[in-house]
Structure 1
């Protein structure tokens, strides 16, 4: 049997596609249930046994098996179960309200074993022949199926009966093959694994017929092989109904499934079947056509019925290009055969016999498609119509203008013999020349060849032929106003039973089914079989064959040469890529690389090598180190020794060496070298490279030096700690000893005053020691801020000389002072300046055993605009300093040797002085020679200041203070006692409480309110910060004037002070608090509040105490104006800050500053000045905090103005 190579190839493609899409299941694998048809759940009544089973079981487990069996089990995805069986399983799940789990088994035998062992509850699909055991209960079928044979059209009737010498394909196991062998003993059985594979082999002539069930055959034929095969019913056991199966003891589940299937409406069953491309015959019981006994007996007596299929009635019946009869009538006969069991055999009419007539010997036959005539041919009867189409006029699409027969007088119109229109049209249109043809193809060809002007055809045939054969050549212009063409089947008048059977079968087919079968033929391409051969056809075939052979030879040869050329180009490209990669790897490497031969000649080097020696490739190429001259002779000899050693060892050599280039640059390099060999394994040269590690060596040297410095600093700090132990214990010894004597009252009354003085001096020394350390910490942390105010240089230095004069006299030293300045008053930080002078004087007196100490202040010409230049020189006749000591004395915690190691001190004084000098826009240096003495020079710049005359209204705070009521809060009893006694000594009233809660109670009950609050910052429970914050809130709630509130702390860190300001503290007092410091703070607050009390009967407020010339009425008017002006100014300032407008903020603050200066409100003036200064840099966080203080200050001013105005 000849097999078409292209058909065979297509079969292989379909086979491999099926293999690819079929899952490789394990023995048991759970898959997902996927329903494609959604059906509403029917209402059912369950038996008691079914209800108990449903309650006892959470899920229904179904078993499926084997390869896909469409459309029952599709197998689109290895992880899903979909198809007709899946749709019914989904109905069970929804109706019984149970989750259905589906498990796939490899074979039916394994599935049955799983059912017997209880792994699953039911089999999802089966046919009665699948199960032969008696222990299964079978539900009613949900698919009425039967076995059929699909075969090619070229099999004759005799071959169809027993498949003699024919190859019959099937899908199944050995048991299926044995069963088929008994029915078709002479057929050659060919098993397949997949239905799609077997159907493809049939379609492309790899086999002759295919035995399978009708639903699968119908589904696969609809997928694309319908025009190449037909279905035939066989006499073997035809029943193949599909049902569920359960174990015999599981009657509860069986009754539940049976009730569900019984309650499912037929419409829903048909909907499921139609969704998968099947018709209602697969769910409706057999004999739906209601055939009577005579008709059934006729079918039994005439199993084979001959049929004549017209060869050119497109698309109802025609012969395609492969010689097969096709068309809608052919498909319709296939559907009738499936319903009736009749086997239709195609016969060819005898020569000279019309296709619309039956041979006498075949009176029991059928003509598949004819056009109904008004009077049928003698001895013929027509069936019911299976297609109706109007008659249309077809003209030449390239120039035809006719739309009706009335326009075609004198024109030629073609139509077929079997149309039955010739007589009537000739009578109505006598002037039209009508010409008859054998078929519609010939009629339309005449129009295309200009042999006729138009053709008359049924629309269905005209559309088909124009779309498939005469596209863009013919067009339909209009429909004729005559009765449409009715296509029917014709049988002998002697055979009315066959006619009834055909009519009942067509009535059984739904209009939807008939339309679905008609649609493919309306769009099917069927060109007419036109073969043109002339007397040279054989020669042309030979020439064409030879040309094809030559073309194939040259094609294969060119393909071979092209492949070799492409392969060569690919290898060349790969080689080039490798060379570029190696070149990039070498040239762009950060390591200097080079290659030398056995004579030390340079063969190759990279860019890093050339850049290191600052040379070009031409300078070193093919030259030795000595010839190129890029390094010194000594370095050249060192490298040659390395090369010799590398060749001798025949192994890589790594070393670190020093290399001097020709420009004298010395570099430290880490060098490596190794021998390279040729293809024989012999050494041909050296590959070398090096890394410049000069910078690394320098870093290592610096690291070692830094380590020495760190170790020295650690030693210095150790010495400092030891010195601090001595410095702290020395004053503590005197302090504790004397206080112990006083405590036990063991001292003599005459010495008591002296003892207390000594103890006080020791405490001051200890305080100064701690102060130095804290000053150093502040300077290092950057929190030691400058507080600029007017000072007199002459007076400041003179006051320090007065302090140290007694100490100089004790050591019999001459202390002299010389001042040569023209501008004596400057703006600077007096505390820092005094600290520098005091430290320099203290060191000079401390380290000078005899001789003198001179202090000299000189003014020099200044190079800085707006600043004055001064030089303060403190010179002693002490032991002097070496150069090393001159550098070391300014380091923290360092005390130099050579006569100064036994001196007391922390080693911080000069370090602090240098830091303070830098902050005061100056520089502190030393000039000294060992044994001669030392001269410390403070060279600084400062702004000159013109002192103002003090008003006569100024008041001495010491003499004008009034007694204040002060609330003291401290949890430490001794500290509380000391502070209260200090306040009482100064002349104020102190009320002491021991925690913050008592302080809140006393503050709330105080009438009048306390004038001042002093609170310890660190207390258990509520600390001092929170206390002051709450007191400030209460002040605002009661609209009281802002009173001074101080924090008392032993921690002098900047963070503590800032936290106090944030909480609302006026300032932080640092422990230990001396009487003078406390008196100074109280004096300032007393001046701010009520330092100058108003005279009785006078309306002047404290703001106008310095304006004696104003009358009472003028002061009253001015007070009212100030209240309104301040309120407006503060609101405008708030708005400017809220909008973050720097210029507007500066203007508002400056306007409020003018008011503050006028009424001598210094605190408000300072706040406004700060706002002006910070607005330039737009530091809004600081500005907002200053605004809060401004608002409080303005509120206090308004309160005092209103109070005194009312008086």
Structure 2
């Protein structure tokens, strides 16, 4: 009734107020618009005045800066007092920065822009002249000052600065006059506007009408909004509940009612506490009651919002999983009166997540199985391949006729190609599995290129090709990155270029593409005059198993993995590779790689390290061998002694640690992985973490599983060598660890006895340099200890002591491999694997019996050989 009365009584007032307001607006609007335009013009003019003042100040600053720069230069040249140069660089930067600011401020004035462009070369010349004066000696510097060239430049600059300044003074005068004129206009408008304020006051009466009208509108809108909001809640695809401060159900939307109806056919329990007391709210995946205080609705009633997805509602045999999110609702006094919750049935989603996890687990197990298969296949293939290549090299040095030499060379070439293919496949597998690790160590690009030149020169020479590898002087002397992967990339690209080039040459060039304080982008191009690649094949050349044509593999060989590996290694380092090629004319591969710039400390440490490493080859190294197998101990002792090293033996990791604790110095440690008491991993961890000794450690193991080397490196070892090893390989790795070049020291020995039926002493003879006495000693040790170990193995198998079977088989395996008893070594490997997976006696006993049979035969034959040697 009150609202109706107000509406009726104010009807006439409404007309009058509207008429007054209309008249006021008609009068005030044009004036205000005109005032706004004037104010805008005034502000623009004032801004231009400010700009002009700023330009003039900057011009003065430039003049002052150049004067100070010249004065400091004279002071330094005459006195050689470096304090004159304290702010030399900052002063130059400031001068150029102020000139840039002036150019920006006068960007709307072509005349001034032209003058600034004219003065810039003189300022740059002046700056360069001061720099040149400072860099020369005192006499030359004084002569340069006396020449008057600097003064001529300064006079020219000042003259041009005056020209720019005069233009700004003229502009300032003009703009000041415009500003004063506009200011007068604005004052007049302000007076008129003040007069209209009276009319605006009258217009305030309108607000009474507006207020009354708003009340009527708001009441109508409120009713409509309440209805619309309810419709929105009802239409939401998720359940919504509102509970009061006591936890009682106040509102539920349609989706909420439908979801809860799945469990509660007769309707939900309205009180939340009662629902929990009835043991119907459970933590998903358990039989535990859901704590009332942890439920989002109860947290919301205490003032905090939360979300969970582990609520399970049970009713007899029915249950659903819910995710719920709840927030508090406040009244006008900021008191919590309700908690609003949104919930969703996630039963199907959880089921799908479980199925996805199972599928992911199965996929990961499949991937792991693939990795293990590749590792095992690598080991199984490498073992006979190493034997094939080894015996081929020995056969190559024996007296052969021309045809036999040709056959041997074909076997050697095919074997090396097969080994390359195996290595490529393993590299791709590592990259796929994310196991390719990158180092960040200091290295020199020029020495790396020099090594590549030496390494690949013969390959180019064999095809009468010219190989040139250049590194521009601007390339930093020292970079931080992974030199091993860069070598692999460049070796593949250069070798590839040589392979596909029949005449002409291959050229490699390196330059700095981009550089800042933090890193350098090195661009390396590999150009050849070979067969080239057609344009339609360029996009696919980096794909796996891809060749330029179908005849490429047939004519040149290869797997088509080399460029794939190169591209992957480059992208792992944050770089990129591109190719430009013309069919029949050659190809250009462009590699762009980012490397961190070396700091001064890196340069100092690298120089000191290089100086020490350069003398390492001349030292007699003291080597610690941690090895539990007696034959391996003897072999390592003999081989290392022949290299001119002194050797000390530790039978397990604990003994090695104690020797280091006692203060003994060693240059390098050869660490077996699997040893009793303390294995190689634990020993290395103690050496690195507790003793904090950074002596180079090289792992030696008969394992060849994927990731074994990475595991050794992760424990703090520096390199990895598979057993049985070659003498020259061991020597090279030791020298590489210490930074020396062992290429000139590599020696291989020819066998002096033929390979017997069961055993093969070629490895021992080669490792000992043909020393028969040493071979006899090793055979006698084998004959003494092997029967004992076989007996231990028998007792472990019969007693089903699986851990003892693994340890004894592993220990015996290296001795057997040293004697070249391959079938026995393979049997021991199988026995070790079966014992690791907890196979029973029925599985282990037949394997042991086969191993023992081969062992007895080998022992009998070795006894015969030993007697024959004694008689000889």
Q: TM-score, normalised by structure 1?
A: 0.25
Determine which structure has more spread, i.e. the larger CA radius of gyration.
Answer: 1
**Whose relative contact order is higher, 1 or 2, with alpha carbons under 8 Å and at least 6 apart?**
2
Q: Which has the higher helix share?
A: 2
Q: Which has the higher strand share?
A: 1
Q: TM-score, normalised by structure 2?
A: 0.34
